[in-house]
Amino acid sequence: MHFQSSDEQQQLADSLGRLLAHHYGFEQRRAIAASAAGWSEAAWRRIAGLGVTTIGIPESFGGLGGGAVDRLPAMQAFGRALLLEPFLASSVLAACAVREGATDAMKDALLPALASGELRLAWAHDEADAGHGHAPRRIATRARRVGGRWHLHGLKSLVLHAGAAQRFVVSARIDGGVDADADADADADAESTVALFLVTPGSAGLALREFRLVDDTPAGELALDGAVGEALGDVADGGRARAAIDAALSAGSAAVCADMVGTMQMAFALTTAYVNTRKQFGRPIGEYQALRHRIAEMAVSLEMARSMAIAAAAAADAPGAAASAIDLARAKLAIGRHARTLCQAAIQSHGGIGMTEDYAVGHCLRRIHVLDHLFGDVEAQAARLARLHHQDQGDML
């Protein structure tokens, strides 16, 4: 699939690439990962200063507008740098949920600050009950109105950059109902039961357990035991809340696809540089036929993934299209497979050094492992494609 960046997109991508090359080299990233926070506020300010955090936010709120396609070059640059800052959590997932599901007053209060990078939100939606198959509509967290305020009860299992968030965007059911047999694409309850809430860190009834993912990305688990939440949108409009959740998950999936392509680019560049300089028996190992074939296969995987990332972004920007869900699932499945194949081949080409902490190529595979599991891994996407195909066949009968 061909994709041509606009002049503005290319200029922003070039500026971002120069910034990351100068301020976010691998050793600088290792220092950030070893810090207590696990991310750099200075790096976040530099990224926001370029205007990257304005992508996807309407111009009326200080943003550049656009969507997943406009975000594609930036996400690839972040993948090449193995970025640890909370862009996906705040500027993609949470910002999309606010844009699609918040009241006008909430948008006025949140979107300008998100665009400038002054406000950082975290998306608290995933739950342990969703299981390996990634069932995003199985929401067990419940919200009850007591004394004029909403109190939330439940457990959110994977909240990216929870420790960096100034507020959490939490999904919950008004009545607490959930069907334990609901699959990934079926909503067991009426749409009116779903709503989004803002919860402030440190609130009574909120417990946060922070941890790091295998690629050093900061994350956390939220335990809600009566924590007070402020409704993000109209709680009576469950359809809008559901649409906001679906839009956030689609945008997140497309962003992760682009991030994986950037990570693949990094692993491929490291490998080609290594095999062309590492000598054995007086000649670069890249001249040996077996390695030349491996490099060629890696190049094919990279180009396939690059095209699929474009398809994923286009699908996320057209949520009403009939084939969007299928295109997005197919893209994430294909990229996940190609990314693992490429990164494993990169490590094999490096030999023992590829598995060390001091060398970047092993960290590429770790990042791919995390990104593959976000929003459903290869196996989950295959199962989802089967369900969607079955539904299409049923509609035709």
Same domain, 156 and 247: no
Last residue of a domain, one of 237, 270, 298: 237
Instruction: Determine the Cα–Cα distance for residues 312 and 232; give it in Å rounded to an integer.
Output: 28
Same domain, 59 and 73: yes
CA 270 vs. chain centroid, Å, equals 24
| Contact (CB, 8 A) for 88 and 122 | no
DSSP string, 99-166: HHHS-HHHHHHHHHHHHHTS--EEEE---GGG-TT--TT----EEEEETTEEEEEEEEEEEETGGG-S
Nearest Cα residue to 69 out of 81, 58, 80, 55: 55
Could you give the number of structural domains in the chain? 3
Same domain, 271 and 368: yes
For residue 275, tell me if it sits in a domain.
Answer: yes
Q: Answer with the residue of higher pLDDT: 178 or 385.
A: 385
Same domain, 216 and 251: no
Average pLDDT over residues 182-206: 75
Last residue of a domain, one of 218, 237, 256: 237
Q: H or E element: which one contains 284? A: strand 283-284
Is-above-0.75 flag for pTM? yes
For residue 100, tell me if it sits in a domain.
Answer: yes
For residue 334, tell me if it sits in a domain.
Answer: yes
**Which CATH number is 62's domain given?**
1.10.540.10
Instruction: Determine the Cα–Cα distance for residues 258 and 272; give it in Å rounded to an integer.
Output: 21
Same domain, 82 and 216: no
For residue 2, tell me if it sits in a domain.
Answer: no
- Which CB contacts under 8 angstroms, 24+ apart, belong to 384-390? 384/134, 384/184, 384/185, 384/325, 384/329, 385/326, 385/329, 385/330, 385/333, 387/183, 387/184, 387/185, 388/185, 388/325, 388/326, 388/329, 389/326
Same domain, 246 and 385: yes
Q: Is the pLDDT of residue 89 over 90?
A: yes
Average pLDDT over residues 176-187: 46
Same domain, 362 and 310: yes
Digit-coded pLDDT (tens) for 216-239: 999 999 999 999 999 999 998 989
Same domain, 390 and 344: yes
Q: Answer with the residue of higher pLDDT: 108 or 138.
A: 108
Instruction: Determine the Cα–Cα distance for residues 20 and 300; give it in Å rounded to an integer.
Output: 26
Instruction: Determine the Cα–Cα distance for residues 159 and 168; give it in Å rounded to an integer.
Output: 9
Measuring CA to CA, how many Å separate 362 from each of 174, 273, 351? 44, 15, 11
**Which CATH number is 222's domain given?**
2.40.110.10
Average pLDDT, the chain: 90
Q: Is 116 exposed, middle or buried (0-12, 13-18, 19+ CB in 10 A)?
A: middle
Last residue of a domain, one of 98, 119, 140: 119
Same domain, 105 and 137: no
Same domain, 109 and 131: no
Nearest Cα residue to 345 out of 313, 300, 310: 300
Domain membership of residue 336 as a residue range = 242-396
For residue 310, tell me if it sits in a domain.
Answer: yes
Same domain, 36 and 93: yes
Nearest Cα residue to 140 out of 151, 130, 150: 130
Same domain, 78 and 20: yes
| % of the chain beyond a pLDDT of 90 | 75
Provide the sign of the torsion angle of the four alpha carbons 109, 197, 186, 220, taken in this order: positive
Nearest Cα residue to 308 out of 316, 298, 318, 297: 316
For residue 323, tell me if it sits in a domain.
Answer: yes
For residue 94, tell me if it sits in a domain.
Answer: yes
For residue 180, tell me if it sits in a domain.
Answer: yes
Q: Which residue has the tokens 């996320």?
A: 316
Place 66 in a pLDDT band, splitting at 50, 70 and 90.
very high
Q: Which residue has the tokens 């994350």?
A: 219
Measuring CA to CA, how many Å separate 70 from each of 266, 317, 322? 21, 10, 22
